[in-house]
Structure 1
Amino acid sequence: MQTYQFDNFPNHQRNSEIERLTTNVDSHSKTLVDLLLTNGLYGSNEVLDVGCGTGAMLQLLASLLEKTKFHGVDNSTKILETAKNTIGQTNEKIQLTHGDACNLPYPDNTFDFVFTRLVLMHNSNPEQVIDEMVRVCKPGGTICAIEIDDGTQLFHPHGEELNKIVQAHIQFSKLHGTDRTMGRKLYSLFSKHSHTEETMVIIQTSDYSKDFIQNNELPTLLKFALGNDDGRRLVEANLLTEEDRSELVSTFIPRFLASPHRFESCSFMYAFGKKVAT
């Protein structure tokens, strides 16, 4: 089961989500590329992106590795249409396929490098996704999962107050099959798998500077936590009091955004493992 269903979004939400997904890749592309290249991607002939979305990652990597063939799979027909329009129908280096991450439409031992980004957190059975990634990876090849962990979100000022809504959102997501603390679980998921070895997790946080703050914009994870109803669903689920929600929306968040000295941070977790050579 997946809780993130792009095809079910209304049209206006699809457009904003496409923009967010593309910007999200652009915002930390250098770190992404460096970590992937130095941990198995460089020298790979066949690469698979599980949950490729708009294809932004595929385009970025394909522009750097001329001799590598890239494949992307996603369960959303709508987002694959966007990817195909962006990438181009005749790009022989990138092949896009509709399919389920829990039942990948590829034979065993097909790819040298298999990665997924911000997919496991939306799947109620991340172990099965990893099983499939390992299955389609060649012996000796690399699997990689990139996830965030909302529990690493930090704010200042009013960090304690803002953390209330983050924690409520983590619990709300858990009730609906989403795990917004997936990042901390990657090492366990990889290391306990019977067909992986050499598990490694790299934690990456973006460098923080004045340029990071743009137009008093609400941090992305606070946007998710507040949702379209300013967090009222969290109150209805008894995860946040109405008094706390109202004070957050009317007082603490505006004060946070108004501070020229504010700080916010969240970590990305990169897990790498090798498929056991048999």
Structure 2
Amino acid sequence: MTTNPNAAGSYDFTALGDASGELERLQLQAQRSAQLELQLLERMGLADGQAVLDLACGPGVISRLIAQAHPKSRVTAMDLNGALLAAAREEAATAGLASIRFVQGDVYAPPLEQGQFDFIYARLLFQHLEQPLQALEAIRALLKPGGVLCIFDIDDSWLTLVPEPEGFATFTAAAARAQERRGGNRLIGRQLGRLLEESGYNPVDVHVETVTSRQLGMRAFLDITLGFKRLLLEGEELEAARATLESADALVDDPRAWAFVGVFLARGVRP
């Protein structure tokens, strides 16, 4: 039975407030992994000349990257939040990218013509969704026959810091519970293949790409993997995590420290 899920799921940019620094975090997060993501997307089938949708585009860093790298492509950037779209439009204008189309919309009921896209990218979206199957069905309808949906998302069981700060497992578990209370799922990566198959995509492929602190730099790695988790916690849980987060931050100055995360790339084709 179709339900009416909260479109924002476990991520509500407006609720975080201007003082949270969330816009800057989103921009830095995307910028620091942008070139790596572009390589992965091209491996998944992104090519010049396609009609491309950047779904839940946020401040539009990846939308701009795709438009710059593939100037013959027709790029649409969609997000639920008007403030994020305004930031994305402004940055695109500054970069001289007038070709990107910006649309405000809900992933469960996207205000877009069906059957028009060759390639749709959903970056760090599905970890926030209450009803991923419902979203996948709505997205599938936007693809042309043979069109590709590429999902880039996480599974916290693949996150490792070496040396591991005391209390790190407790902190990540608390963040996962907090996101689950908001409708999210920090273990979504392992479920993507099954969800894509159940919603009618065929064929379906899932790959895990290991990203390390040596690739991104430890500061960038910690910002990307722990930044949102910090925002999820409050009260006693946040206070309990302070020493752990301080120990994690100290790894920036430890030349022997390493960190690893498994990024799930799921690829589904509309038959």
TM-score (norm 1): 0.83
Report the CA distance shift for 1:133/1:83 in structure 2 as closer, same or farther (over 3 A): same
Q: Secondary structure at the match of 1:112?
A: strand
Change (3 A) 1:224 1:96: closer
Structure 1: unaligned runs, 5 residues or longer? 236-241
Q: How many equivalent residue pairs?
A: 263
Which residue of structure 1 aligns with residue 110 of structure 2?
104
- Secondary structure of the 2:150 match is strand
Secondary structure of the structure 1 residue equivalent to 2:203: strand
Instruction: Check conservation: 2:53, 2:75, Cα contact below 8 A.
Output: yes
Match of 1:122 among 125, 128, 131: 128
What is the CA–CA distance in structure 2 between the aligned matches of 1:210 and 1:201, rounded to whole Å? 22
In the aligned structure 1, how far is the partner of 2:76 from the partner of 2:242? Answer: 46
TM-superposition CA deviations, 1:190-236 (whole Å, max 9, x none)? 12222x11211121222443972349x9554444444486x63438x
Distance 1:123 1:146, change over 3 A: same
CA deviations over 1:78-119 (Å, ceiling 9, x no partner)? 111111111129844210011101101112211111111111
Distance 2:251 2:92 in 1: 39
Name the residue aligned to 2:262: 267
1:30 deviates by 2.5
Aligned to 1:238: none
CA deviations 1:62-92 (Å, max 9, x no partner) are 1111211100111101111111111129844
1:201 aligns with 2:196: no
- Residue of structure 1 in register with 2:13 after alignment: 6
- The answer to whether the 8 Å contact 2:214/2:258 transfers is no
Task: Give ranges in structure 2 of 5+ residues lacking alignment.
Answer: 1-5
**Which residue among 8, 28, 39 is the counterpart of 2:44?**
39
Q: Which has the larger radius of gyration?
A: 1
Give the Cα separation in 1 of the matches to 2:48 and 2:152. Answer: 20
**1:11 corresponds to which letter in structure 2?**
D
Amino acid of the residue matched to residue 35 of structure 1? L
Matches of 1:174 and 1:120, distance apart in 2: 12
Residues 47 and 68 of structure 1 are in contact (CA less than 8 Å); yes or no, is this contact kept in structure 2?
yes
Distance 1:86 1:219 in 2: 22
What RMSD, in angstroms, separates the aligned Cα atoms of the two structures? 2.8
Residues in 1 aligned to 2:164 and 2:127: alpha-carbon distance in whole angstroms: 27
C-alpha distance in 2 between matches for 1:157 and 1:273? 37
Q: Secondary structure at the match of 1:88?
A: helix
* Pair 263,117 (structure 1): closer, same or farther in 2 beyond 3 Å: same
Mean CA deviation greater in 124-133 or 255-264 = 255-264
